[in-house]
Amino acid sequence: MNLFSWGMYPKIKNTVISWEHPKTLQNFLKKDVESIPYGNGRSYGDSALNDTILYARKYAYFLDFNENSGILHIQSGVLLEEILEVFVPKGWFLGITPGTKLITIGGAIASDIHGKNHHQAGCFSECVEEFNLMLPCGTIKNIQKNDELFLATCGGMGLTGIILDAKIRLKKN
């Protein structure tokens, strides 16, 4: 598999590493190969391109949903589209809605995307409560809202590590 950016430029040959379990990812990171996380390839330019890509799209399960608080716990490869398909019929919606629904939760956090309601609701990190981050050394840390590593990871474009899963707040329609 050869992955590209949304703009299809530049085209570089890359090795793609998929994972469906964190242990697989940890074992790869032990090899100390320069790599970057890649979600669904909707970033502008070449922000998620490298010789070695850590492809997160297969790490995509819904883990839990609390109907009282609206907190959804999901793995990083879940697309916004998939969340909308499941939760809009139940009366829930994303707090921040960008122009495309074809991006992963990990990508939304790493890019700290904005939506059409940015002037009122802010960036995607506003609806993120916490996430689990695998550091480049393979250690997994739970990162809480407003922690220093939370602030560095939201908008950090994958440079702090690999977002494994997140708890995001949905809003009731």
Dump pLDDT digits (tens) for 23-39.
999 998 888 788 878 77
In a domain? residue 132: yes
Distance between CA atoms of residues 20 and 37, nearest Å: 14
Please say if the pLDDT value at position 120 is more than 80: no
What is the mean pLDDT of the segment spanning 39-52? 70
Q: Measuring CA to CA, which residue among 70, 68, 49 is closest to residue 129? A: 70
pLDDT confidence tier of residue 2, bands split at 50, 70 and 90:
low
Same domain, 122 and 79: yes
Counting every residue written for the chain, the total comes to: 173
Mean pLDDT of 73-96: 96
The phi, psi pair for 113, rounded to 5°, reads -60, 160
Q: What is the pLDDT of residue 170?
A: 97
Q: Do 71 and 125 fall into the same domain?
A: yes
Residues 40 and 101 in one domain: no
Q: Are 161 and 136 in contact (CB under 8 A)?
A: yes
Q: What domain count does the chain have?
A: 2
Helices (H), the chain: 22-29, 80-87, 105-110, 118-121, 148-153
Nearest C-alpha neighbor of 135 from the set 51, 20, 22: 22
Distance between CA 50 and CA 57 in Å, rounded? Answer: 17
Report pLDDT digits (tens) over 88-116: 999 999 988 887 888 999 999 998 887 77
Q: Does residue 119 form part of some domain? A: yes
Same domain, yes or no, for 23 and 97? no
Closest to 164 measured CA to CA, from 55, 77, 71:
77
Angle at 15 between CA 167 and CA 61, to 5 degrees: 25
| Segments forming the whole domain that contains residue 28 | 15-55
